[in-house]
Copies of this chain bind each other. A is one copy, B any other.
Amino acid sequence: MLYLVGLGLADEKDITVRGLEVVKSASRVYLEAYTSILLVDKEKLEAFYGRPVIVADRELVESGSDDILEGAKDVDVAFLVVGDPFGATTHTDLVLRARELGISTKSIPNASIMSAIGCTGLQLYNFGQTVSMVFFTENWKPSSYYDRVKENVTLGLHTLVLLDIKVKEQSLENMARGRKIYEPPRYMTVAQCASQMLETEEERQEGVYGPDSLAIGAARVGAPDQKLVAGTLKELAEVDMGEPLHSLVLLGKRAHDLEKDYIQQFAVNEETFNASWKQGYGSS
């Protein structure tokens, strides 16, 4: 059996009791470690589980999935995924491959950022599509996300923006030379995201949002030091939310007063928050 086990969002204790049972009894345990991260390292997990964990990087999952699945017809293999196994990153490929090989699969759900973002006090019913923001480079500033945000904004819905992480990436030079030397990991911050969003708006000029649009920055959701900040995009572009992982929610105009009551406690500046709110949010 292949078990896909969600680990939740923050640390080793966010696994479910059922998930922990699977991890303890499986023959091999893999940790998917390239689309998201926990706030603790592999050693902490191994100590908590009382057993070794094999780190599965993108290469292993995408090209070496048969190694992961080896023998899983007869023994249990656990594949650990930060968040939920079918959340922000789905592992349907691995499941489909398992099925081709006649291996049964089972998934153990857990918190995903896609629903845990409800901790902002915003109603999940009022969210439209989720989008991803990648690190812009000098020559590559993809703005396809902007079209999706526009669709949400037109309907007055909130948009969850998931932020890029770069783990075990090679520089172009090292890749070209076939050198397996990896860059240090990078995690996009709320400030970087807000300023990239403003950059896109300036380029596209479709008035989807602007410097005074309200948004919420969320850092380390689910962790003891979880941090939420509400403010204008201009303000968030300057905010320091500390350690990763970060996410951002662009507020939709349909936001209602109960949501406001909750989020205003996180305001960077209550005056600008209220001024922006009055400009066009809330029940009308």
- Residues A84 and B123 in contact, CB atoms below 8 Å apart: no
Q: Copies of this chain, how many?
A: 2
1/0 per residue, CB under 8 A from B, across A104-120: the answer is 00111111101110111
**Centre residue among A107, A109, A131 by max chain B CB count within 10 A:** A109
- Residues B261 and A88 in contact, CB atoms below 8 Å apart: no
Instruction: Tell me, yes or no, whether A206 is within 8 Å of chain B by CB.
Output: no
Interface residues of A in 2-16 (CB under 8 A from B): 6, 8-9, 12-16
Instruction: Tell me, yes or no, whether A69 is within 8 Å of chain B by CB.
Output: no
In the assembled complex, the Cα of A221 lies from the Cα of B265 at a distance in Å of 35
Q: For the side of the interface on A, what is the size category? A: 35 or more
Query: Assuming A111-B110, A114-B115, is B123 touching A126 (CB within 8 A)?
Result: no
Partner pick for A16 among B14, B119, B129, B224, CB 8 A cutoff: B14
- Residues A129 and B125 in contact, CB atoms below 8 Å apart: yes
- Residues B125 and A131 in contact, CB atoms below 8 Å apart: yes
- Residues B157 and A129 in contact, CB atoms below 8 Å apart: yes
In the assembled complex, the Cα of A33 lies from the Cα of B18 at a distance in Å of 22
Query: Assuming A127-B129, A221-B109, is B18 touching A17 (CB within 8 A)?
Result: no
Instruction: Tell me, yes or no, whether A21 is within 8 Å of chain B by CB.
Output: yes
Contacts of A119 in B (CB 8 A): 85-86, 107, 109
Partner pick for A111 among B6, B90, B99, CB 8 A cutoff: B6
A254 CB to nearest chain B CB (Å): 10
Contacts of A131 in B (CB 8 A): 125
Instruction: Tell me, yes or no, whether A274 is within 8 Å of chain B by CB.
Output: no
Interface residues of A in 157-204 (CB under 8 A from B): 157
Interface, chain A (partner B; CB < 8 A): 6, 8-9, 12-18, 20-21, 84-88, 90, 92, 95-96, 99, 106-112, 114-116, 118-121, 123-132, 151, 155, 157, 221-222, 224, 258, 261-262, 265
Q: Which 3 A-B pairs have the closest CB atoms?
A: A86-B118, A109-B111, A112-B115
